[in-house]
Structure 1
């Protein structure tokens, strides 16, 4: 039974690494396109750094278990994230689509880290819990920021649109 729990935990960690890789592939194209929403760009830059650190923490946990991340999972989710970013870039309300999708994705990550923490606890992987909690905290902070700033971003989008200015990004 212990081996089953270890296997489940390792699979969850590999999935989390791929999920964070996907987050990078979502954030980077947004950063390249944002011009009119500097507060969003600043927070995305910060979260990109957090995400890269989260991937490193997961790699460290995997390494402590003599495991490695899954290049195939990383590639697959990264491709999916890139496609989503491309799809949003064609929308007139790109900044809103990105803001809403980012909020949803952050909540997905929160759920994934909560699940990983339960698996770590059940499997006796206490040494992994601090890093997972740190990742969870960063995701919760980002989700909170996105939620709190959705009103400002939406209002700015509408105001720019009414004034005939570029409202996309």
Structure 2
């Protein structure tokens, strides 16, 4: 593939990842505001929000290094859809579980995007971008692993709170 085409694929992928991370923030921030009975989830979400903000900065640095801008339109569109997705779970009696399921899936989606970007980066000779992309990938995989490792305990806590008549939703 010609170098220009690889560059175009890489830049579009970086812009998509930037928008994806903004979407992630628009999903996680409302979740964090609604969590009362699950401090361990709140702490992990808060940590991952900070990581996501760092991921956005890394992506912007890579784009800047290529003399490219982020796509404001994609950022806005995906942030809006993320906000709507987060809002959709607020009416569910098992909101905390639905959020965990959605977050688990989204973390894997993000990881796939970074694995693909790393492959394009390697094919195009964009070695300077690889460290930032690998850091983003590692954080997404770590969050997915945390959700995986804690989903059963979260579900049991939800059931326990519900049985006790407490608000189990958030």
TM-score, length of structure 2 as denominator length? 0.99
Which SS does the other structure have where 2:93 is aligned?
A: coil
Which runs of at least 4 in structure 1 moved beyond 2 Å after TM superposition? none
- Which residue is equivalent to 1:93? 94
* Separation in structure 1 between the aligned mates of residue 115 and residue 74 of structure 2, nearest angstrom: 20
Structure 1 residues without counterparts, runs of 5 or longer = none
* Separation in structure 1 between the aligned mates of residue 166 and residue 32 of structure 2, nearest angstrom: 20
Greater mean alpha carbon deviation, residues 158-167 or residues 36-45: 158-167
- Which residue is equivalent to 1:84? 85
- Within a 5 Å distance, the mapping from 1:40-119 to structure 2 comes to 40-119=41-120
1:127 and 2:132 correspond: no
Tell me how large the CA RMSD over aligned residues is: 0.4
- Which residue is equivalent to 1:23? 24
Q: CA deviation at 1:86?
A: 0.4
* Separation in structure 1 between the aligned mates of residue 28 and residue 95 of structure 2, nearest angstrom: 13
* Separation in structure 2 between the aligned mates of residue 52 and residue 163 of structure 1, nearest angstrom: 37
Q: CA deviation at 1:30?
A: 0.4
Q: CA deviation at 1:133?
A: 0.1
- Which residue is equivalent to 1:3? 4
Q: Deviations over 1:110-139 (max 9, x none)?
A: 000000000000011000000000000000
- Within a 5 Å distance, the mapping from 1:134-153 to structure 2 comes to 134-153=135-154
Structure 2 residues without counterparts, runs of 5 or longer = none
- Which residue is equivalent to 1:155? 156
* Separation in structure 2 between the aligned mates of residue 167 and residue 48 of structure 1, nearest angstrom: 23
* Separation in structure 1 between the aligned mates of residue 135 and residue 32 of structure 2, nearest angstrom: 24
